[in-house]
């Protein structure tokens, strides 16, 4: 075991023991001479356990002590009275340094002192390296008179500059603030700018959209009675991919829907779609009554469902069917007024969009997104038609037409003063509530599409033009031969006058072709054409029906020699029953033409506001005096014995009118058979209503049908509107005055 540092050691040169110094570091307490220090003295000269500062201070203290000894050689001997205390405080290092310096000349063999290497960062100007201590008996120290070599001065190295903490703090703060500002700006954009996009993207999956159907407007008569209206119903549909047993499902639905089971099973077959996949929707029935739909729902059949629908209801069936028309299953107008005013009757569907839960929570979320666009119901049409009068006119026309086979008939009732169409009937007709079984020709409105050569009813226009132009007067009489040749055609009378003079009432009563041609010859072609136009021929009336025919007048440059005979008596003229009825209404209305029309007013579906139809077109044609004179002439047709229109007389009322025999034209081609007609007004002294009846029959029986049909229709009209009977009788007419 090595000896402890505080145990006495033997000097290898003398063999004596030595121990720690008591009188001073490295000194002998008995002689006062510096001695050789122990292990503690060696530690004082090694850098182990000492700081650079301590080493530096020791070297600096040593230089000062040596300088003091040179200035005062006795100071070392006398010593500082405080030295022992300082030595104690300094751990004995100062005394050791003094002892070593004093004992430097004395060398001890075998002891080697090491000097710590000066740190590289210690400045040469701050201290000098202490000369190395020599062992005893070593080389003598350098003489003081010899200069000590000094190292060349070097520029002091500065220690590496450390980072400034305050700068790092500022930089870090700025980076953190920049990060927070960036996040804040992004949040502002998300909350204020991009909110609709993100919110919409999330809410779209929770939105439920429900269509709010807009009911179609109604069509009502002048009293508000419905002719066509929409009622709520249900449609029944199938999802073929969900139907489990087609045969059983069809068998259960058949009695409720009134559709054969085989047809229903066929509709429920699976069908592929052009773009891939299978069809998941198929109508089974439309317009199903709500009670039946509830029964179907109660069956709880897989793949079968119901939904809100609309059904067009026509209470009268065939009542005014040719006027009203019908709609498709999708509530689009296809015929009649339904088609003509589809944009007015058609409503605008609304929509409700709301936020709802999923699955079992499929219900509106309280406080969630909700927006409703109300449906805008379609507007309703108020017609000038009187439902009761319309029904009666249709009944009379149907009974009279039953006498003929394959015939076509039309009847019109006009209000003289206003031009309102009070009734407009066609035969044949159809059931507008179920139009599919009917033929397209059955659905036509004969009053506006039935083009005819009006025949003798046109003579009233020729007489009126001659009166207005002064060619004739009410008292004019003319010798009437039995025939007249115009061009290459001979025109004759059915009631020959044999050259006798006839009065104007006589010519009208017996429908003299020769007398009318002679008056037209005096009138002239151009003036006759002009009055035809004034009376409304050759152009649509604009009543309101779609597809109304315009008729055609023979242009002056197309007249042949025979045209001067045919046109005045109503041939080579194309007209509709409605056009001719409007011409007679002009005579009844003191010579003023009033455009016939069907629409009285429009009722807005949104607020119920009533908007009257635009005023009808009016224009003067005859003077009141000439119109009154012409009415008197026309009275002879129903009052003179043997006249052509006696069958049209209405008991208790004076009637003015005219019979006619013409042809039916289809695409300009004359059809076999004849068109019999009668147009009249009553009461003749002050007409209120005009009724026109046209009947085409392949066998030519129309003439025997038209006048009796007029009588019934006019009689009912006068009684229906409570028109007082005529106060006097019609004047006595002389056919062949003396």
Please identify every residue annotated as catalytic.
Answer: 456
Helix/strand/coil for 598 = coil
Distances, alpha carbon 678 to alpha carbons 423, 444, 636, 661, in Å:
16, 21, 14, 9
* Nearby residues of 722 by Cβ (< 8 Å), 6 or more positions away: none
Confirm if 344 and 602 have CB atoms less than 8 A apart: yes
Confirm if 310 and 254 have CB atoms less than 8 A apart: no
Distances, alpha carbon 707 to alpha carbons 267, 446, 456, 661, 663, in Å:
53, 18, 14, 12, 17
The token pair at 522 is: 């005096």
In 3D space, the residue among 514, 735, 515, 737 whose CA is nearest the CA of residue 643 turns out to be 735
In 3D space, the residue among 643, 652, 637, 646 whose CA is nearest the CA of residue 708 turns out to be 646
The token pair at 618 is: 């009016």
Instruction: Map tokens 């599919």 to a residue.
Output: 436
Q: How far apart are CA 24 and CA 21, in angstroms?
A: 6
Q: How far apart are CA 393 and CA 272, in angstroms?
A: 53
The residue ranges of DSSP E strands in 239-335, in sequence order, are 282-288, 304-313
What is the enclosing helix (H) or strand (E) of 325?
A: none
For 519-582, the DSSP string reads: HHHHH-HHHHHHHHHHTTTTS----S-TT----B---GGG--TTHHHHTTTT-S-BB-HHHHHH
Instruction: Map tokens 């409007």 to a residue.
Output: 582
- Quote the Cα angle for 210-211-216, to 5°: 155
* Nearby residues of 350 by Cβ (< 8 Å), 6 or more positions away: 211, 212, 214, 372, 373, 374, 375, 376
The 10 Å CB-count burial string (b at 16+, else e) for 506-531 is bbbbbbbbbbbbbbbbebebebbbeb
The token pair at 38 is: 């122990």
The token pair at 349 is: 């569907």
Enumerate the β-bridge partners of residue 539: none
Helix/strand/coil for 639 = helix
Helix/strand/coil for 383 = strand
């Amino acid at each position: 075991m090595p000896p402890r540092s505080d145990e006495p050691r033997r000097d290898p040169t003398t063999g004596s023991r030595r121990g720690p110094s008591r009188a001073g570091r490295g000194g002998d307490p008995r002689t006062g001479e510096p001695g050789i220090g122990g292990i503690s003295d060696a530690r004082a000269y090694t850098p182990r356990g000492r700081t650079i500062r301590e080493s530096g201070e020791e070297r600096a203290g040593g230089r000062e002590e040596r300088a003091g000894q040179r200035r005062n050689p006795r100071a070392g001997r006398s010593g500082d009275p405080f030295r022992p205390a300082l030595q104690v405080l300094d751990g004995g290092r100062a005394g050791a340094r003094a002892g070593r310096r004093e004992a430097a000349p004395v060398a001890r063999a075998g002891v080697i002192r090491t000097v710590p290497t000066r740190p590289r960062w210690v400045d040469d100007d701050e201290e000098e390296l202490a000369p190395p201590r020599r062992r005893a008996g070593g080389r003598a120290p350098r003489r003081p008179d010899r200069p000590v070599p000094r190292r060349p001065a070097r520029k002091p190295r500065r220690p590496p500059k450390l980072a400034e903490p305050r700068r790092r703090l500022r930089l870090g703060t700025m980076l953190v603030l920049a990060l927070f500002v960036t996040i804040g700006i992004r949040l502002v954009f998300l909350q204020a700018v991009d909110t609709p996009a993100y919110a919409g993207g999330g809410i779209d999956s929770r939105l439920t959209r429900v269509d709010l159907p807009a009911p179609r407007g109604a069509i009502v008569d002048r009293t508000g009675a419905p002719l066509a209206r929409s009622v709520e119903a249900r449609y029944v549909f199938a999802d073929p991919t969900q139907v489990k047993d087609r045969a059983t499902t069809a068998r259960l639905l058949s009695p409720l829907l009134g559709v054969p089971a085989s047809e229903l099973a066929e509709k429920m077959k699976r069908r592929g779609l052009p773009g891939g996949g299978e069809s998941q929707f198929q109508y089974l029935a439309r317009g199903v009554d709500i009670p039946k739909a509830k029964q179907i729902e109660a069956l709880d059949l897989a793949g079968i469902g119901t939904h809100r629908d609309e059904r067009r209801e026509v209470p009268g069936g065939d009542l005014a069917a040719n006027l009203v028309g019908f709609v498709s299953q999708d509530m689009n107008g296809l015929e009649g007024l339904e088609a003509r005013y589809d944009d007015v009757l058609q409503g605008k569907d609304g929509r409700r969009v709301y936020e709802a839960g999923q699955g079992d929570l499929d219900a509106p979320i309280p406080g969630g997104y909700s927006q409703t666009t109300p449906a805008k119901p379609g507007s309703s049409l108020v017609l000038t038609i009187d439902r009761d009068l319309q029904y009666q006119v249709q009944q009379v026309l149907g009974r009279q037409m039953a006498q003929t086979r394959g015939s076509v008939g039309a009847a019109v009732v006009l209000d003289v003063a206003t031009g309102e169409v009070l009734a407009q009937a066609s035969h044949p007709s159809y059931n507008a509530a179920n139009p599919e079984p009917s033929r397209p020709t059955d659905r036509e409105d004969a009053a506006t599409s039935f083009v005819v050569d009006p025949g003798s009813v046109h003579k009233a226009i020729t007489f009126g033009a001659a009166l207005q132009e002064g060619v004739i007067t009410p008292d004019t009489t003319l010798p009437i031969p039995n025939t007249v040749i115009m061009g290459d055609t001979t025109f004759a009378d059915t009631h020959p006058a044999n050259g006798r003079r006839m009065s104007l009432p006589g010519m009208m009563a017996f429908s003299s072709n020769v007398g009318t041609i002679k008056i037209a010859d005096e009138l002239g072609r151009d003036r006759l054409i002009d009055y035809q136009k004034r009376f409304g021929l050759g152009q649509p009336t604009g009543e309101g029906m779609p597809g109304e025919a315009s008729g055609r007048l023979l242009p002056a440059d197309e007249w042949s020699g025979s045209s001067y005979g045919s046109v005045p008596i109503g041939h080579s003229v194309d007209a509709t029953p409605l056009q001719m009825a409007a011409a007679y209404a002009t005579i009844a209305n003191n010579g003023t033409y009033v455009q016939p029309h069907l629409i009285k007013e429009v009722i807005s579906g949104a607020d119920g506001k009533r908007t009257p139809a635009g005023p009808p077109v009016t224009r003067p044609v005859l003077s009141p005096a000439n119109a009154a004179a012409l009415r008197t002439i026309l009275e002879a047709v129903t009052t003179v014995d043997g006249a052509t229109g006696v069958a049209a007389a209405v008991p208790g009322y004076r009637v003015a009118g005219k019979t006619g025999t013409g042809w039916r034209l289809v695409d300009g081609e004359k059809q076999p058979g004849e068109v019999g007609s009668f147009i009249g007004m009553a009461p003749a002294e002050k007409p209120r209503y005009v009724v026109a009846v046209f009947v085409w029959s392949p066998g030519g029986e129309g003439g025997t049908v038209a006048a009796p049909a007029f009588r019934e229709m006019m009689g009912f009209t006068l009684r229906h509107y409570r028109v007082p009977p005529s106060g006097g009788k019609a004047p006595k007419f002389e056919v062949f005055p003396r």
